[in-house]
A = this chain, B = another copy of it.
Amino acid sequence: MAARRQYQELAQQLSAIGAVKRGLGRVLPSECPAGSAAVLGLLDRHGEMRMSRLAELMAIDMSVTSRHVAHVAERGWIDRSADPADKRSRILRLTPAGRDMLADLSERYMNALAHHLADWSDDEVDQLNALLGRLRASFGDCRAAPAAPAVPPPAAPPVLPVPPGEPVEAPAARTTRTPL
C-alpha cells in the first residue's frame, strides 16, 4: 500500500507517458499506424488466433479490434480464414507480406529505441518491462468484473525481482465485448 503522494505521481506519469507512445508512433509508416502494428506484433508473438483472443490481448473492445484487423487484412498482411470448427469464427494468421512489414516495423522501433534509450542498461529495460506488465495485470479486470470480490482473487502476486527471461504475460482479461 503506497501513499497518496505516490499515487498522484503515478497518475501524472501515466498521463504523460502518452508523449512517448506518440513519439514511437511517429516512426511508423503511414500505412501502418500503431493499432495495425499491434495486431501484427501480437500475431507474431502468440501465433494464429481468433478475433476474440486478439481483442483480449489488446485489451480493447472487439468492435475496435475488428476495424484494426480489417485494415491489416485489406493490405494483405494477415489472412482471415474461416474456422472449420465454428463458422462464426475466423482464424487470423500472418501472411509472408505481413512478416515483411513486421520486419520493417521491428527495424524502425529498434532504431528509435536504441537511439533514445542509448544510456539505459539491459536490466533497467527489463525492470521497466516487468513493472509495466505487472501494472497491466493489476488493472486487468477493469472491464468485465466491476463487482470486485471482497477477497482479492488468489492471484499469486509476482515477486519483484523478475528474471529477465520470460516477459510478464498478458493480463488475461475476462471479456472484451460490449456488455450485453
- Footprint of B on A, CB under 8 Å? 1-4, 6-24, 26-27, 29-30, 34, 37-38, 41-42, 45, 58-60, 103-104, 106-129, 131-136, 138-139, 142-143, 148, 152, 156-171
Q: Which residues of B contact A110 (CB under 8 A)?
A: 4, 7-8, 160
Top 9 A-B pairs ranked by shortest CB distance?
A19-B59, A23-B142, A13-B132, A2-B125, A7-B113, A111-B158, A128-B131, A119-B157, A20-B139
Measured between alpha carbons, how far is A119 from B45 in the docked complex, in Å? Answer: 29
User: Is the beta-carbon distance between B118 and A10 smaller than 8 angstroms?
Assistant: no
If A12-B45, A103-B163, A116-B139 are given as contacts, then 20 extra A-B residue pairs at C-beta distance below 8 Å, sorted by A number, are A1-B120, A2-B122, A2-B125, A4-B106, A6-B126, A6-B164, A9-B167, A14-B17, A14-B132, A16-B38, A17-B21, A20-B136, A26-B142, A29-B166, A112-B169, A115-B156, A115-B158, A117-B138, A128-B132, A131-B131
| Given contact pairs A17-B136, A27-B168, A29-B165, A159 touches B114 in the complex (Cβ within 8 A) | yes
Measured between alpha carbons, how far is A142 from B120 in the docked complex, in Å? Answer: 17
Nearest-neighbor residue (CB-CB) of A165 within chain B: B29
Residue of A12, A26, A123 ringed by the most chain B CB atoms within 10 A? A12
| Given contact pairs A110-B160, A113-B11, A166-B29, A128 touches B121 in the complex (Cβ within 8 A) | no
**Nearest-Cβ distance from residue A146 to partner chain B, whole angstroms:** 10
**Nearest-Cβ distance from residue A180 to partner chain B, whole angstroms:** 19
Q: Which residues of B contact A10 (CB under 8 A)?
A: 113, 125, 128-129, 132
